[in-house]
Amino acid sequence: MKSPLKVSRLITLCAALLGASFANATIVQFQTVKGDFEVNLYDLETPQTVTNFLRYVESDAYENTFFHRSVSGFIVQGGGYFYDLEADQPKPISANDPVTNEPKFSNRRGTIAMAKIGSDPNSATVQWFINLSNNQANLDVQNGGFTVFGEVMGDGMEVVDAIAKVKTMRFGGAFSDLPLRGYSQSDLEDEVPVTDEHLVMVHNIVVLDGSPDSAADLNPVPNTLISEQSDNKKSSSGSASWWFMALLMLAGFGLRKRR
211, part of any domain: yes
Of all residues in the chain, the percent with pLDDT exceeding 70 is: 78
8 Å CB contact between 164 and 76: yes
14, part of any domain: no
For 179-224, the pLDDT digits (tens) are 999 999 999 999 999 999 999 999 999 999 987 677 778 899 999 9
pTM attached to this predicted model: 0.81
Burial class of residue 240, CB neighbours in 10 A (0-12, 13-18, 19+):
exposed
Q: Where are the alpha helices (DSSP H) in 29-154?
A: 47-58, 136-139
CATH number of the domain encompassing residue 40: 2.40.100.10
The candidate with the shortest Cα–Cα distance to 195, out of 186, 187, 207, 204, is 187
- Helix (H) or strand (E) holding 148, with range, is strand 148-152
161, part of any domain: yes
Give me the pLDDT at residue 231, please. 55
13, part of any domain: no
Q: How many CA atoms lie within 13 A of 204 on its CB side?
A: 8
Give me the pLDDT at residue 77, please. 98
User: Average pLDDT, stretch 222-231?
Assistant: 81
CA distance linking residue 259 with residue 75, whole number of Å: 66
73, part of any domain: yes
1, part of any domain: no
147, part of any domain: yes
For 64-75, the pLDDT digits (tens) are 999 999 999 999
Give me the pLDDT at residue 183, please. 98
10, part of any domain: no
For 246-259, the pLDDT digits (tens) are 444 544 544 344 44
Domains contained in the chain, number: 1
Domain that holds residue 64: 23-235
